[in-house]
Amino acid sequence: MSTSLTLVQGDITEQSVDAVVNAANSSLMGGGGVDGAIHRRGGPDILAECRDLRASRYGRGLATGAAVATTAGRLPARWVIHTVGPVWSATEDRSALLASCHRESLRVADELGARTVAFPAISTGVYGWPMGDAARIAVETVRDTETTVEEVRFVLFDEAAYEAFATQLRP
Ligand code: ADP
């Protein structure tokens, strides 16, 4: 069965899905943007699990392009999949790392048995990735990834982000 790609303009913390992807940073200790919103709304259980991950498998933090799951706490989801996007660079092509975030998040989602997964526009906030290019990489990567996830929902905060993703989905 093929995966359907859908778009919503809104807040990722309000999505009723199996898994929500967090645009985390390598510390896994929270931050601004999507990360801040997820911890604020999801409550302290998420951070507690992130602390455990730091104390066990991820003593040096989560690598850029990697992904790991925790509980979703009080969010209307079962899991949060934390992934660390690359900071955008004008001099170095880091696209492979941004693609890796999407591929690795789907791999973790498959391991969990998640059927519906919501993604934010990873790296397009404080990490500065141009929205149109991020949308192209996100959509191409999800389309090219073999996964048992049935719906990948991109949740875009504003109209410009929504339009950038809609452009990529148009045939
Ligand atoms: P990064 O550090 O990877 O750049 P950010 O969280 O700063 O991640 O931003 C990623 C994108 O998510 C930005 O386009 C931002 O506008 C958007 N965003 C911020 N908060 C939310 C939210 N609650 N739901 C969905 N998207 C959000």
pLDDT in tens, 123-168: 999 999 999 999 999 999 999 999 999 999 999 999 999 999 999 9
Q: What are the pLDDT digits (tens) for 3-54?
A: 999 999 999 999 999 999 999 999 999 999 999 999 999 999 999 999 999 9
Q: Nearest C-alpha to atom 23 of ligand 1 is from which residue?
A: 11
Residue 61: its pLDDT value, please? 97
Residues 6+ apart with CB under 8 A from 56: none
Please give the Cα distance from 21 to 19 (Å, whole number). Answer: 7
Q: Nearest C-alpha to atom 5 of ligand 1 is from which residue?
A: 125
* CB atoms near residue 55 (< 10 Å): 9
Domain 4-169 has CATH 3.40.220.10: yes
Ligand 1 lined by 73 (C-beta under 6 Å) = no
Ligand 1 lined by 127 (C-beta under 6 Å) = yes
Ligand 1 lined by 155 (C-beta under 6 Å) = yes
Q: What are the pLDDT digits (tens) for 82-123?
A: 999 999 999 999 999 999 999 999 999 999 999 999 999 999
Residue 1: its pLDDT value, please? 67
Read off the pTM. Answer: 0.98
Q: Which atom of ligand 1 is nearest to the CA of 84?
A: 3
| pLDDT surpasses 80 at 64 | yes
Most ligand 1 atoms within 8 A of CB, residue of 124, 126, 156, 163 to mutate = 124
Give just the sign of the alpha carbon dihedral 162, 116, 169, 33: positive
Specify the 3-state DSSP secondary structure of 144.
helix
Give just the sign of the alpha carbon dihedral 46, 109, 119, 138: positive
C-alpha of residue 152 to centroid of ligand 1, in Å: 17
Please give the Cα distance from 141 to 133 (Å, whole number). Answer: 12
Ligand 1 lined by 85 (C-beta under 6 Å) = yes
